[in-house]
Each structure stands twice: as structure tokens, then as C-alpha cells.
Amino acid sequence: MWFSRRQQRNSLQAPVAGTHTAMPAATSPQQVGVLAVQPTSQVINAPLDGDIISLSPSSLVINSLSGHYIELRIDTPYFQNTCDWQVRVGDSVSPLTILGTLSGSLDGVTIAVYRLNRIQASGSITLASN
């Protein structure tokens, strides 16, 4: 009987249905823009497999299975647009996981995915305790 080791698949997928658009400006030098989408759907899925390590009203950070930190950020010109997150810090997610749903108009909304080169100890990212 042979056992095969399952390879970790770490491909990035678009978190929402929509059209690709230009990357919004990064808010820190540690961010590398990967993907930006103007959503046509209000459902946000996880872009890859990993664990939620930070959550705020407009962004979340996933520690991927390969050890990369991926930030998903909602950029919107309107303050009434919010996201109802369906996950919590410490949850394991996959591309089939619904992270949350957007409320309000989708006009001008961009979902941006960034790779973080390192995590600052500024308190902006909360690590889940085991």
C-alpha cells in the first residue's frame, strides 16, 4: 500500500466575481499588490487556503498554508459600504469559504489583495492565540 503526500496548493483566486481593475495604492511599503477586482457580486470568498489572523471592518489578513501573509482590503469611496464578516480570527478558510457579504452599492468598490512582506508590531494586526 502506497501513501502519497498531498502537496499544498497555494494558488490565489479572485475573492469576488467581477472585473479586474487597477491596483489601489498600497498603504505601507510592506504591501505588494497582487490582484484587484471591481465586484459584481456581494459575496466575498477566501482567495486561498489559510487561517484568519486579523480582522477589521474593511480588511482581513490570512496566513496562507505556505506561510505568506495575504491581506484582503475593501476600498470604497462611500463610508456607508460595509462588510458583514462571517469569519473570526483563528478560523481556517479555503476558497469555498464565504468570508463575508458587502452591503450597500457596489459602485466604486474595489476588493484588493496584497501580499505582506512582514507584519508590523504596530497593533494593526492581531494574531490569534492557540
pLDDT tens track for 18-39: 999 988 887 788 888 899 999 9
Q: Is 10 helix (H, G, I), strand (E, B) or coil?
A: coil
Q: What is the pLDDT of residues 68-101, one digit of tens each?
A: 999 999 988 766 667 899 999 999 999 999 999 9
Please check whether residue 88 is in contact with residue 100, taking contact to mean a CB–CB distance below 8 angstroms: no
Residue 108 confidence class, pLDDT cut points 50, 70, 90 = confident
Q: Is the pLDDT of residue 8 over 60?
A: no
Show the cell assigned to 48. 486561498
pLDDT band at 129; cut points 50, 70, 90: very low
Retrieve residue 27's grid coordinates: 498603504
E-strand spans in 21-128? 31-39, 43-45, 50-56, 59-64, 69-75, 82-85, 92-93, 98-103, 110-116
- Of 95, 116, 125, 79, nearest in space to 11 by CA: 95
**pLDDT > 70: percent of the chain:** 79
